[in-house]
């Protein structure tokens, strides 16, 4: 069974690039660039994580967090810092997913390939 992860960001191209770089059969990525898409994904259920890129403005970030918390009691929210720009999105996702895998298995360090 795969774990569903929403990748929420400002630009489709950045999300698609990150999806190419961070591949793991244990996770299914749901790309979103609009809050309405996020809400739809959450309403369909089974979203374990929402990973936000740094390009979103503060109001969008706050609204995304509100949307997740109003829609789900079990979804984690992860926000990337702004310092490292779009090139830091894939490494941030990798870090989040490594932690998620470690929590799921309860053992050791998870490994994923970032291309």
Question: How do residues 72-101 score in pLDDT, each as one tens digit?
Answer: 999 999 999 988 889 999 999 999 999 998
104: pLDDT strictly greater than 80: no
What's the confidence (pLDDT) of residue 111?
A: 43
Kindly tell me if the per-residue pLDDT of 53 is higher than 70.
yes
Beta bridge partners of 28: 4
Rounded distance between C-alpha atoms, residue 15 and residue 32, angstroms: 8
Tokens at residue 54, please?
């740094």
Instruction: Specify the DSSP element, H or E, that contains 65.
Output: helix 58-71
Mean pLDDT of the chain: 90
Instruction: Please give the domain boundaries of the chain with CATH numbers for all domains.
Output: 3-114 (3.40.50)
Mean pLDDT, residues 39-62 taken together: 95
Q: What is the mean pLDDT of residues 40-49?
A: 95
Nearest-angstrom CA–CA distance, 69 and 63: 10
Residue 4 tokens read as 């569903």
* pLDDT of res. 106: 59
What's the average model confidence in pLDDT over 10-22? 96
Q: What is the pLDDT of residue 79?
A: 95
Phi, psi of 50 (to 5 degrees): -120, 120
Eight-class DSSP state of 2: P
Amino acid 96: pLDDT:
96
């Amino acid at each position: 069974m795969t774990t569903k992860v929403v990748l929420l960001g400002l630009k489709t191209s950045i999300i698609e690039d990150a999806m190419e770089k961070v591949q793991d059969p244990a996770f299914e990525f749901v790309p979103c660039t609009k809050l309405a898409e996020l809400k739809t994904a959450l309403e369909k259920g089974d979203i374990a994580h929402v990973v936000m890129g740094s390009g979103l403005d503060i109001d969008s970030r706050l609204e995304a967090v509100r949307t997740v918390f109003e829609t789900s009691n079990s979804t984690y929210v992860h926000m990337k810092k702004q310092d490292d720009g779009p090139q830091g999105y894939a490494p941030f996702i990798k870090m989040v997913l490594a932690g998620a895998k470690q929590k799921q298995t309860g053992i050791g360090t998870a490994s994923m390939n970032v291309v």
